[in-house]
Amino acid sequence: MASIPTTVQTHIDPSQGGNYKIPLAVVTMLFFMWGFLTCLNDILIPHLKGVFDLNYTQIMLIQFTFFGAYFIMSIPSGSIIAKLGYQKGIVVGLLTAGVGALLFYPAAAAISYPLFLTALFVLASGITLLQVAANPYVAVLGRADTASSRLNLTQAFNSLGTTIAPYFGGVLILSSVAGMTPLQEAEMVQMPYVGLAVALAVLAVVIWRSKLPVIASVEDHHAKAGKLSDALKYRHLVLGAVGIFVYVGAEVSIGSFLVNFLGQSDIAGLPEATAAGFVSYYWGGAMIGRFIGSALLQKVNAGKLLGIFALASCALVFTTVFTTGHVAMWTILSVGLFNSIMFPTIFTLGIDGLGKLTSQGSSVLIMAIVGGAIIPLAQGAIADAIGIHTAFILPAVCYLYIVFYGFIGSRHS
């Protein structure tokens, strides 16, 4: 998943004896970690679907719960950062995510799907706090004119996490489940998530003990009602929020269904553990595309390039819907390459020209990430009604909207 490029009002002055390479390296670990944790949901979905014998609508409650936390916890997270500061806020976020990871142990022992969802909500709440804190912190760790470059670098590590997670989950969670009882299958998630909880705790200690620069003033993430209403008067912001909603929804939907889709007999007939390895191609494509897109954006108008990439994604998904076998398999995996620039580009276009209302506009776009909760659930309902293959029409339609936003909707009225 792409990280949230939140804006701040002040920058640390590097001319005042600051060397920010070590602090940047420390904070960059956060981007890898939350990318890894977010993408591990794609492995949990087919695994828990079998454990609890759920339909597609029910299993997509995993993404509904996870991304719903972004919507519910983004504003409270801003308040925590305002009170504690970025460094302490990051530590709280890591520890909260660690508690969520630990809750997987009793959830598996009790074979309780509601407890699994509770664990995911706590985990995602911690990640939301990390998102709200880490992005603006990276932006101020150096000169203002190189902030974008630093964010792109850290986002590349976020993509590295999403690329590795499916392989990790496939080996430790999806392999060797044949012949197991439901309890034994559920227990397969215990040690991986306990290990992740330990890693999060260690990272919290590292952040706590690190001599990170202190930001003199913290932007207030609480948008006053009047100012928020002023921001919503900007048409390109409102349309951009819809763009974030459908983009995150489409990206998450595709990743969530890949293991089950590649296991279909008319697609590839892959075992779950093998299919999980191919999910890495989807997320790895986004990492590669981010570097390519970064170079192209220096020469091509952002709105036009967004429209072109969205058009390519739309064509690939429609091709998947109307074909079978390896053609359908590789076209859906290739979508990841064109997903790469969409989140940061939509975000940048959405807040462009807002001036003093930029922080309010950013809050609107952050909350729109709730699309990752709604659209996978809707695709699950469609899959139950007409089949998993045809259900990919929903993300295809989402990309059509992004085509509109790139070419037309992002223009200032």
Query: What is the pLDDT averaged over residues 48-66?
Result: 95
What's the maximum distance between 2 C-alpha atoms anywhere in the chain? Answer: 63
Q: What is the dihedral of CA 247, 259, 287, 349, to 10 degrees?
A: 0
pLDDT band of residue 45 (cuts 50, 70, 90) is: very high
Comparing 299 with 247, the larger pLDDT belongs to 247
Contact of 45 with 165, CB cutoff 8 Å: no
Cβ–Cβ < 8 Å for 173, 47: yes
**Residue count (the chain):** 413
Give the Cα separation of 282 and 333 in Å (integer).
Answer: 5
Query: How far apart are alpha carbons 72 and 23 in whole angstroms?
Result: 30
Looking up tokens 């990492």, which residue turns up?
287
Q: What is the pLDDT of residue 14?
A: 45
Q: Please give the mean pLDDT across all residues of the chain.
A: 86
pLDDT category of residue 98 using cuts at 50, 70 and 90 = very high
H helices within 263-357, ranges in order?
272-296, 302-321, 325-339, 342-351
How do residues 178-213 score in pLDDT, each as one tens digit? 678 888 988 999 999 999 999 999 999 999 988 877
Domain range list for the chain: 21-214+222-409
Domain 21-214+222-409: state its class. Answer: mainly alpha
Q: What is the CA radius of gyration of the chain?
A: 20
Amino acid 362: pLDDT:
74
* Cα gap 266→179, rounded to integer Å: 25
Instruction: Out of 25-29, 118-122, 318-322, pick the least confident.
Output: 25-29
pLDDT for 158 = 86
Q: Is 325 exposed, middle or buried (0-12, 13-18, 19+ CB in 10 A)?
A: exposed
Q: Return the pLDDT at 298.
A: 79
In the chain, how many H helices and how many E strands?
A: 19, 0
Which residue do the tokens 């459908």 mark? Answer: 246
SS3 236: helix
pTM of the complete model: 0.84
Task: Note whether 159 and 343 are within 8 A (CB).
Answer: no
Of 7-11, 329-333, 355-359, give the range with the top mean pLDDT.
Answer: 329-333
Residue 392 has a pLDDT of 98
